[in-house]
């Protein structure tokens, strides 16, 4: 074996290069794994996604209970009661998902949002489909739907 490692009294340069590449690869994979572990296990997110999404669901649930109609745009949703009075507006503004009530009080529901989408159900015209995509690709996207129930009151 010592003859393989030594060639004319010198260490084989190809073997050194191979060992160096293996060590570099090991260091890169280990550091990437440790940073992922740190992100998800050691340093939990400052914001609790479950609590934030439950807050969004609660707002939508309460608003759609009173809403009789809605108007959607590319990144906003406006809800109206059965007398066409403005109840609230949900919109994406400066990467923040906002809710503005009929008194113009604005609340930030979620920060660092890449995009939002609102649409009506194809077979159910009173069904509003909501999609929220966070900027951070490691965060869980938000998908849900709500029925407008204000006409039933």
Helix (H) or strand (E) holding 132: strand 127-134
Q: pLDDT value at position 47?
A: 63
Instruction: Report pLDDT for 32.
Output: 86
Predicted model pTM: 0.68
Question: Average pLDDT of each block of 10 consecutive residues along the chain (153 residues)?
Answer: 53 82 93 76 63 91 91 91 90 95 92 93 88 87 90 54
pLDDT at 60: 93
Question: Can you give the pLDDT at residue 70?
Answer: 92
- In terms of Cα–Cα distance, which of 90, 119, 84 is closest to 107? 90
The structure tokens listed for 146 are 């709500």
Q: Reduced to 3 states, what is the DSSP secondary structure of residue 71?
A: strand
């Amino acid at each position: 074996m010592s003859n393989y490692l030594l060639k004319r009294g010198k260490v084989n340069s190809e073997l050194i290069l191979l060992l160096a590449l293996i060590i570099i690869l090991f260091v890169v994979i280990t550091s990437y794994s440790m940073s992922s572990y740190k992100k998800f296990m050691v340093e939990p997110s400052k914001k609790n996604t479950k609590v934030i999404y439950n807050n969004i669901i609660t707002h939508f649930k309460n608003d759609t209970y009173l809403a009789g109609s809605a108007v959607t745009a590319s990144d906003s949703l406006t809800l109206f009661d059965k007398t066409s009075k403005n109840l609230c507006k949900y919109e994406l503004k400066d990467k923040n998902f906002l809710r503005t009530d009929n008194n113009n009080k604005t609340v930030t529901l979620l920060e660092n949002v890449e995009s939002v989408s609102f649409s009506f159900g194809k077979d159910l015209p009173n069904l509003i489909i909501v999609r929220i995509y966070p900027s951070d690709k490691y965060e869980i996207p938000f998908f849900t739907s709500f029925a407008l129930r204000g006409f039933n009151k």
